[in-house]
Amino acid sequence: MTSPHRHAPAGTPRQARSVARHVAAVADLLAPLRSESRTETVPLPGALGKSLVHGFLAPVSLPPFANSQMDGYAVNSADMHDDVTEFAVAAPVPAGMRPPSLARGTAAPIMTGAMLPDGADAVVPIERAVPDSFPAPGTGARVTLPATAAGTYVRPVGSDIAAGERALAGGTCLGPAQLGLLAALGIPEVEVYRAVRILLVTTGDEVVEPGKDLTAGKIYDANGTLLEAAMAQAGLEVRRAGISTDDPAELQKLLRSQGADADVIVTTGGVSKGAYEVVRQAMEGQPVEFLHVAMQPGGPQGIGMFDGVPFLGFPGNPVSCLVSFEMFLRPALAAVLGAPALRLPVRARLSQPLTSPEHKHQVRRGNLQPDGTVRLEGGESSHLVRALAGSNALVHVPAGVTELAAGDEVEVWML
């Protein structure tokens, strides 16, 4: 008698680990990176893409004072009894200092952002004044203004954030907007987690540096550049150790000579089931596990420690190693440190049908269109770098889903 569950489906190792479990395992491995010893205080521009160590409260209110939202006249709305009221034009409100109080029955020319004088509670834009241009100061001019309610075109003190309110939470990934808020609050430097240092090694006797001659059986190293760029864009500090041959002793030497001060060692290739899996062999005797994640591409993975340094062994196919970075290393670092930011997940409609292996989470590459549809680029194979280069998104087909039709909704991550 056969049980439908007795055998793993073809191509899926029995003990495949789920994507979520592997993300958690990578996060556990990297948890020690969240340590006081890995923090630094840097001027704001140096904090871009890094994660804030401590949350903090606003030291000042924004705006710090009530000010005008328009170029126009500051008035006291209580002076306006009719549809239109004539005012004596007061001295213009100077920018950057406290203006004198507004005398009743007068309207003071005020520019956008200038402090509202005491006694004023509204601003009438210059376009609504008669005449609709500012008179020369001190000419005894008069202006007619329409009835205006208190608060009109006034930005109240603290209307953005009040002093003492939470400005940013610890673990926030600092992008331009967050750094802009810090600057607006008058904070010149912040304590962040230092950039994670990656030692990146690509492997394979067949792999040669771009620019060298391509002899029979050789291919150019795409992974080194692809991953270095992906990691650099995510704010990681990457050291390339070059290409290791398939000699495990050479790889060990390379890792020992360059890996000691790395936060994480990442290799590509040499992790599957071939006869010469250099990474597997180089890790013998180290607490490193080689396993299969129920994901396509990027199934074969290595994880553990090499000489006490956290180690991740990504598969050698170019798309597989990029997908491994996006699916495991980025989310794990985001969970542990708060940076890099997670990819933005959006819902999109497939513009064509697809099939996917039942027990694997499939990650296809695609192009999200302005109309909310996503067009798949290339097939599922993990050697398709040209299709990857034409994509702007990863398209997720969760385990358990075997077929999707054109028009079906999928989650995509914007790259």
Ligand X SMILES: Nc1nc2c(c(=O)[nH]1)N[C@H]1C(S)=C(S)[C@@H](COP(=O)(O)OP(=O)(O)OC[C@H]3O[C@@H](n4cnc5c(N)ncnc54)[C@H](O)[C@@H]3O)O[C@H]1N2
Q: Which residues bind ligand X (CB under 6 A)?
A: 202, 204, 206-207, 219, 221-224, 268-274, 277, 297, 299-300, 315-318, 320, 382
Q: Among 171, 248, 315, 318, which residue interacts with ligand MOO (rule: CB under 6 A)?
A: 315
* Least gap, CB of 385 to ligand MOO (angstroms): 13
φ, ψ dihedrals at 190, nearest 5° = -140, 155
Least spacing, CB of residue 13 vs ligand X, in Å: 7
Q: Report the residue number, 16 or 66, with the smaller CB distance to ligand MOO.
A: 16
Rounded to the nearest angstrom, the gap between the alpha carbon of residue 382 and the centroid of all alpha carbons in its chain is: 25
Site for ligand MOO in 255-314 (CB under 6 A): 296-300
Restricting to residues 373-402, which ones interact with ligand MOO according to CB under 6 A? 382
Q: Which is nearer to ligand MOO, 116 or 387 (CB)?
A: 387
Q: Tell me whether residue 272 or residue 281 sits nearer to ligand X (CB atom).
A: 272
Cβ 356 to ligand MOO, closest distance in Å? 12
Smallest gap from Cβ 290 to ligand X, in A, equals 10
Least distance between ligand X and beta carbon 162 (Å): 53
Nearest CB to ligand MOO, comparing residues 65 and 276: 276
- 317 part of the interface to ligand MOO, by CB under 6 A: yes
Q: Is 161 within 8 Å of 58 (Cβ atoms)?
A: yes
In the complex, which residue's CB is closest to ligand MOO? 297
CB of 49 or CB of 316, closer to ligand MOO: 316
Among 61, 67, 320, 356, binds ligand MOO (CB under 6 A): 320
- At closest approach, how far in Å is the CB of 305 from ligand MOO? 23
Applying CB under 6 A, the residues found at the interface with ligand MOO are 296-300, 315, 317, 320, 382
